Amino acid sequence: MKFKQLSLRYRIFLAMILLILLASVLIAAVTIFQYKEQTDEYNQGRLERKEESVKAAINYWLNSGNGNTFPVEEKNLEYIFRDKIYEISDIEKLEINIYDLSGNIAKTSHSGFVKSDAPTVLSDTVLKGVMNNAQHRYLNTRTVKGQSLQSSYTYITDNKFKPIGILNLQYVQDNTAQDKDLEEFLLRMAYVYLLMFLLAIGLAYFISSYITRNIKAITDKMNQTRLNTSNEKIILENASSEIFTLVNAYNKMVDELEISAVKLAKGEREQAWREMAKQVAHEIKNPLTPMRLTVQSFQRKFDPNDPDIYNKLNEYSKTLIQQIDTMSSIASAFSNFAKMPTQKREELNVVEVVKLALDIFAKDYISFFSSKDIIIAELDKTQLIRVVTNLVKNAIYALSEVENKKIEVTVEDDNDKVFIIVADNGGGISDEDKDKIFEPKFTTKSSGMGLGLPMVKNIIEAYDGTITFTTTYNKGTVFNIILPKK
């Protein structure tokens, strides 16, 4: 999941946790860097102090007149420091090398079988570094056998400050104590930051929940907002000014929405009544016209002396009764559609009721299939028959121009649901009619009022069921009904 897709609460929570982690890493990095800087400064200062101490001992040895018996000259360096260099090296605990001004080693304190790391001849870089530096001092740092080795080079002078040689000190940096201190400090800091991190998680969770609590309340109210229901206003206490602004905007929207909903509902009702009135008027006019013509014809041709007067009167009466029955069926259809189906639940065998509904159709191309002989559900028998009857009637009409007619009605069940499937191989439903198939007054028949499928849909939805269909033009249509058993 992308970060932008996370909720505001989790983004605030993660941001605070990442901030704590970043601060911990940065503090640890700065601490390590500071320790390294302090260690380097300590080692450099220690080398300088040892260098000053060694130079002081050498100057005292050369100029005091109490020890050295050789002339203080470059050629006598080996003899001047023949024994003294070992004494000074033992006192200072470091290797001392003395070179002549040309860079050749004259005397070293190193002894033993292990070869010294000090060069026997100084490079031009070292010589120029000592010569050209204002303090006549050159410092070189290199790694030998995994340890940092600092080498300092400076002049040895006589009592007139004339250089007679080059003093080299080999100082091995031993950072064991500092590294141990650093490890202990970092370990303690890790414990402290672990505790802070756990506290930060709790604090971040609390703060993020507190910040987003009012926003979540507003979001939940907005998700529950509906056009056709009464919506509650949001009442929050101790919210920020920004949240109050948002709440006031929402409450104002709710007021406007209720006004709009009332106007819309009123307009829809008026429009529905107008459309219904037009449809009723249209459907009633259809039988009134032949009735009028029948009466007018009877009026013109009426002859009491006609020997067939009773037969003609009977024929006219049948025509009028037929049209009156048509008008009655129109009124019943509108009445049945206008009122929501009343749920009269009773335990019945769906397989048996569907078979009963199909018995009124004397068509040999209607087939019935069932996965079981008995499928019990709590439904209204009359309404179930009405549903099946309407769907089969529509299927028969769809087969009016098909040679090899076929209608298949199937009943199945699965756990707590009943499935009724009505399939035909008729002309199918065109793409432009798919979205209107359940609309009142829509029909593709030359006769009828287009209330059959809407009424079927009303009945099924009253039982919390669903009706869907799949169709292929010129190949057939399949209606799928799903009804709960209870």
CATH number of the domain where residue 370 is located: 3.30.565.10
Q: Is residue 231 part of a domain?
A: no
Interacting residues of 468 by C-beta distance below 8 A, sequence separation 6+: 479, 480
Q: Is residue 226 part of a domain?
A: no
Distance, CA of 97 to CA of 93 (rounded, Å): 13
Q: Kindly state whether residues 22 and 125 are assigned to the same domain.
A: yes
Given this model, what pLDDT does residue 394 score?
85
How many CB atoms are closer than 10 A to CB 113?
4
Mean pLDDT of 95-122: 84
Q: Kindly state whether residues 317 and 390 are assigned to the same domain.
A: no
Given this model, what pLDDT does residue 412 score?
92
Q: Kindly state whether residues 375 and 306 are assigned to the same domain.
A: no
- CB of 170 within 8 A of CB of 119? no
Q: Kindly state whether residues 141 and 40 are assigned to the same domain.
A: yes
Question: What are 357-406's pLDDT values in tens digits?
Answer: 888 787 888 899 998 889 999 888 888 888 888 888 888 888 877 888 89
Mean pLDDT of 433-450: 57
Per-residue pLDDT for 421 more than 90? yes
Give the residue from 125, 154, 179 where a domain finishes: 179
Interacting residues of 379 by C-beta distance below 8 A, sequence separation 6+: 345, 346, 348, 350, 353, 463, 483
Q: What is the CATH number of the domain that holds 124?
A: 3.30.450.20
How is residue 380 written in tokens? 């209204």
Residue 137's Cβ-count burial label (10 Å; 0-12, 13-18, 19+) is middle
Question: What are 24-74's pLDDT values in tens digits?
Answer: 888 888 888 888 888 777 778 877 888 888 888 888 888 776 777 788 888
Mean pLDDT for all residues in the chain: 78
Q: Kindly state whether residues 264 and 373 are assigned to the same domain.
A: no
Q: Is residue 72 part of a domain?
A: yes
Given phi > 0 = left and psi -120 to 50 = alpha, else beta, which region is 216?
alpha
Given this model, what pLDDT does residue 450 score?
47
Q: Kindly state whether residues 380 and 257 are assigned to the same domain.
A: no
Distance, CA of 273 to CA of 185 (rounded, Å): 85
Question: What are 199-218's pLDDT values in tens digits?
Answer: 878 887 777 777 666 667 76
Q: Is residue 209 part of a domain?
A: no
Given phi > 0 = left and psi -120 to 50 = alpha, else beta, which region is 257?
alpha
Q: Which domain holds residue 445?
A: 346-484
Q: Is residue 96 part of a domain?
A: yes
Q: Kindly state whether residues 152 and 47 are assigned to the same domain.
A: yes
Q: What is the CATH number of the domain that holds 254?
A: 1.10.287
Q: Is residue 236 part of a domain?
A: no
Q: Kindly state whether residues 418 and 278 are assigned to the same domain.
A: no
Mean pLDDT of 111-121: 76
Q: What is the DSSP string of 245-271?
A: HHHHHHHHHHHHHHHHHHHHHHHHHHH
Q: Kindly state whether residues 319 and 370 are assigned to the same domain.
A: no
How is residue 274 written in tokens? 């107008």
Distance, CA of 265 to CA of 373 (rounded, Å): 47
Q: Kindly state whether residues 296 and 365 are assigned to the same domain.
A: no
Give the residue from 161, 179, 197 where a domain finishes: 179
Between 148 and 103, name the one with better pLDDT: 103
How is residue 244 written in tokens? 């109050």
Q: Kindly state whether residues 20 and 165 are assigned to the same domain.
A: yes
Interacting residues of 57 by C-beta distance below 8 A, sequence separation 6+: 88, 91
- CB of 479 within 8 A of CB of 463? no
Residue 230's Cβ-count burial label (10 Å; 0-12, 13-18, 19+) is exposed
Question: What are 122-162's pLDDT values in tens digits?
Answer: 899 988 988 888 888 888 877 777 677 788 899 998 888 89
Q: Is residue 43 part of a domain?
A: yes
DSSP H helical segments within 302-440, as ranges?
Answer: 309-338, 350-358, 381-398, 431-434
Give the residue from 304, 338, 372 where a domain finishes: 338
Q: Is residue 119 part of a domain?
A: yes
Question: What are 164-193's pLDDT values in tens digits?
Answer: 999 998 877 666 666 777 788 878 888 887
Q: How many domains does the chain have?
A: 3
Q: Kindly state whether residues 333 and 350 are assigned to the same domain.
A: no
Interacting residues of 193 by C-beta distance below 8 A, sequence separation 6+: 24, 27
